[in-house]
Amino acid sequence: MNNKNLYIQLYSIHGLFRGSNLEIGRDADTGGQTKYVFQLASTLSEHPAVEKVELVTRLIRDRKLSSDYSVPVEKINDKFDIIRIGCGGGRYIRKELLWPHLEEFIDKSIKYLKSKSKLPDFVHSHYPDAGYVCSELSGFFGIPLIHTAHSFGKSKLKKLLASGYNHEEIDKKYKIDHRIDVEESIAYGADLIITSTKFEKKEEYSDYPNISESKIKVIPPGIDLDKFIPYTSKKARGEEMNELIRKIGAELLNFFVQMDKPLILSLCRPDRKKNITGLIRAFGESKELQKKANLAIYAGIREDIQSMDDNEREVLTEILLLMDKYNLYGKMAIPKRHDTEEEVPELYRIAAELNGVFTNVAISETFGLTLIEAAASGVPVVATNHGGPEDIIANCKNGILVDVSDTKNISGAIDNILSDKDLWKQYSENGIINVRKYYTWQAHTEKYLGEIDSLLDQQPAEKLNTFAETGRKLFNMEKMIVSDIDYTLIGNDDLLNDFINILNTVPNDIGFAVATGRSVDSAIDVLKENNVPLPEVIISSVGSEIYYNYKGKQIYSKGWDAHISHQWKRDRIVELLSGFDFLQLQEEHSQRKFKISYYTSDNPEYIIEIKNLLMENKIQANIIFSHGQYLDILPYRASKGKAIRYLAYRWNLSYENILVAGDSGNDREMLKGELLGVVVANHSPELENLKGQKKIYFSSREFAGGLIDGIQHYNFLSN
């Protein structure tokens, strides 16, 4: 490899990750993707070209789950850590409900990276939620984005519509329209897309017209061949393993009347698309199959079906009802839990020793990791003919593909294998041999890093459609000067020129921002009129909007938008305040999504009346009065001061390294607290009562002269 000492970040946000005993199948969000990502990270960490691998996921503090998921950093080995970042509170929530909280995840991811003072060589996202996060990080810093979909929103929508659901209820439950929009954006913006099968490349991605086929690379995943050992291997046995076999046997004995019959095995999440009910119907409708074999379905991990999410509860309830309908007692097992680390590999070997069959009869399967695990263990398979299993069976030649829409196809294929000992042996031996040829993690990693090597060699200094130059400056920034515009920065041309001269000579690790009541367009116009270099950040509309400047183009902060939108009731506030004759709405151009602006007079009683009315109606808002006539109402989380503190959090800046300068009441909140405050001599009377407060310096000079005076007072430009 040309590129050495790689720092890699893999993002997989939903689901549950920990260093041992992965809870695969606990719910619809903790399936094969979890295993795939963890194994990829683990194998990459063993490669000599890799210096560090971080698997970035969500931090969860939930009494229903292990405390393992609440540890911010879990060290797996010297080169591999699981990094957990909180968002959306501590409770575990399904992936569809995470969308509104991803901006928080982005902010905290940037803060984490800034704390390390190092950017990864690339980010690799898994599933669209992580894809969205990594797209933002890639855009900010110009680092390559690798993406693996694992499943597809358009495909899911088609299947659900075909099953009789209407679009409205699908979107309400699965946020499918938003997901598809995000997938379209990722498909267009990713530098490299990795799929597991040709089916994904040709069929699934054909629904996304913005993608360039040349950046899709098929790299099948592997399995841990030290764990998934053939049933014929002596290495697979030992006293400890014999004890485990006895434990599994005892559990199955609770279900089966005859333990020595061949075992039809299924391992999957309790998800409707896995078609578990189709397998049960196939078994229940075939008396011949019931005579020959037992059926064991390991459908995830459960405690109480009634407490599970709708999807899992509905599937598990239907499983039990079908078991009763076909009177499969004594012939069918549905254990409540299984250990993925030790029990699952042994389950495959038990099925093989009993001359059984493994099944994956999902309606569609993106890849089918369980099929190669079964192959490695020596148990033949029956699998869906729609999706990834086509590649697997073509390579391993270890089973039969079927159209699962007809249950007779499923039962017939299983019966064919069970009835023909020579065929069973052929499929068993083929699987054991061929899985080692096509599906090892070492082979996957070599091909993966080869593609990365080519990508990094071709990668331009700055990615298209990103503002990496600004992002990287912010990443390296140690200090920031923030100034109001009107009557602080501008007002005296000579003093302003003196400040501009200082600004042009400051070190690159000192940033410049403005915080103004003006709209962003108005702010840019006045800065250009006065020949002020455009700042890295513009906090506009009294702190209700944040923009990052990239070569004159303003990039709106979606993170700040998501943060301040909480409980904002703009229309209701306007309606309530319409009854006050002392308020006059300002012109349309002054109104913003998160700012309602009025003219009023300098009467303290008016502010009290407004606050009381909003409180009576249980509305939280931030009321800001300035210059003796302007009244702005913002979300309670918004203001110039709060916006600056948000930037400090996101970019990991200490408050004592941020200098702020202002002149009026709408600067009040940013001047108070731990920031280094500067009040210019021409300030409004509403700031007089701040005199004497800690870390607020009142300059004797006006306008930009006061700002320069404050910089000197705090000795701000020194290291």
pLDDT at 237 over 70: no
Q: CA of 650: how far to CAs of 170, 471, 477, in Å? A: 35, 12, 12
Copy the structure tokens of residue 584.
Answer: 């006059």
Confidence class for position 687, pLDDT limits 50, 70, 90: very high
Q: Model confidence over 573-606: pLDDT tens digits?
A: 999 999 999 999 999 989 999 999 999 998 989 9
521 and 421 share a domain? no
In this predicted structure, which of 337-351, 355-369, 445-459, 475-489 has the lowest mean pLDDT? 337-351
CATH number at residue 170: 3.40.50.2000
3-state secondary structure 582-650: CCEECCHHHCECCEEEEECCCCHHHHHHHHHHHHHCCCCEEEEEECCCEEEEEECCCCHHHHHHHHHHH
- Beta carbons within 8 Å of 467's beta carbon, 6+ residues apart: 139, 140, 548, 550, 551, 553, 555
Average pLDDT over residues 110-127: 95
The number of helices, as runs of H, and strands, as runs of E, in the chain is 26, 26
pLDDT, average across residues 431-439: 95
Q: What is the pLDDT of residues 144-159, one digit of tens each?
A: 999 999 999 999 899 8
Q: What is the pTM of this model?
A: 0.84
Q: How does residue 465 score in pLDDT terms, banded at 50, 70 and 90?
A: very low
Among residues 636, 657, 673, the one where a domain terminates is 636
The answer to whether 524 touches 538, Cβ cutoff 8 Å, is yes
Domain boundary among 614, 636, 658: 636
Residues 269, 200 share a domain: no
- Mean pLDDT of all residues in 288-303: 90
Q: Which tokens belong to 176? A: 């499918």
Do 198 and 117 reside in the same domain of the chain?
Answer: yes
* Same domain flag for 325 and 417: yes
480 and 554 assigned to the same domain: yes
**CB of 192 closer than 8 Å to CB of 451:** yes
Residues 180 and 307 placed together within one structural domain of the fold? no
626 with 642, same domain: the answer is: no
Residues 276 and 188 in one domain: no
What was the pLDDT predicted at 464? 45
3-state helix/strand/coil string of 432-479? HHHHHHHCEHHHHHHHHHHHHHHHHHHCCCCCCCCCHHHHHHHHHCCE
Q: Give the Cα separation of 284 and 332 in Å (integer).
A: 10
**Which domain does 582 fall in, by range?**
568-636
Distance CA 196, CA 447 (A): 12
User: DSSP characters for 114-162?
Assistant: HHHT---SEEEEEHHHHHHHHHHHHHHH---EEEE-SS-HHHHHHHHHH
Residue 632 placed within a domain: yes
Size (the chain), residues: 719
Residues 80 and 163 in one domain: yes
Residue 121 lies in a domain: yes
Span 677-686, average pLDDT: 95
In this structure, are 49 and 126 located in the same domain? yes
95: three-class secondary structure by DSSP: helix
- On whether residue 455 sits in a domain, the answer given is no
Query: What average pLDDT does the chain have?
Result: 92
Domain count for the chain: 4
Best CA proximity match to 196, nearest among 371, 348, 30: 371
CA 305 → CA 127, 299, 333, distances in Å? 27, 12, 16
Within a domain: 606: yes
Position 21 in a domain: yes
Identify which of 404, 396, 339, 403 has the alpha carbon closest to the alpha carbon of residue 373.
Answer: 396
CATH number at residue 617: 3.90.1070.10
Residues 6+ apart with CB under 8 A from 137: 106, 109, 110, 113, 123, 143, 145
C-alpha–C-alpha distance, residues 701 and 578, integer Å: 41
In this predicted structure, the answer to whether residue 139 has a pLDDT above a threshold of 80 is: yes
Q: Using one digit for the tens of pLDDT, what is the confidence trace for 183-216?
A: 999 999 999 999 999 999 999 999 998 888 899 9
519 closest CA partner among 539, 537, 499, 533: 539
Q: Show which of 636, 669, 694 is a domain's final residue.
A: 636
- 274: in domain: yes
Work out the average pLDDT over 636-654.
94
Question: In this predicted model, what pLDDT tens digit does every residue of 510-559 receive, in sequence order?
Answer: 999 999 999 999 999 999 999 999 999 999 999 999 999 988 889 999 99
Kindly tell me if the per-residue pLDDT of 471 is higher than 50: yes
Separation between Cα atoms, residue 251 and residue 440, nearest integer Å: 32
- In this prediction, residue 339 has a pLDDT band, given cuts at 50, 70 and 90, of low
Tens of pLDDT, residues 531-540: 999 999 999 9
Contact status, residue 533 vs residue 501, Cβ threshold 8 Å: no
* 528 and 576 belong to one structural domain: no
> Is 303 a member of any domain?
yes
Closest CA to 186 of 150, 220, 218, 146: 146
Report the C-alpha gap between 211 and 666 in whole angstroms: 46
**Beta strand pairing call for 596-599 and 630-635:** antiparallel
- 689: nearest Cα among 701, 698, 676: 698
pLDDT beyond 80 at 311: no
CATH number, domain containing residue 499? 3.40.50.1000
Over 80: is that where the pLDDT of 234 sits? no
Encode 553-565: b = buried (16+ Cβ within 10 Å), e = exposed.
ebbebebbebbbe
Element (H, E) at 357: strand 357-360
For residue 223, give both structure tokens: 């399995």
Tell me what percent of the residues of the chain surpass a pLDDT of 70.
97
Distance from C-alpha of 629 to C-alpha of 488, rounded to nearest angstrom: 18
Please report whether residue 334 resides in a domain: yes
Query: Within this chain, do residues 626 and 681 fall inside the same structural domain, yes or no?
Result: no
At residue 177, does pLDDT exceed 70? yes
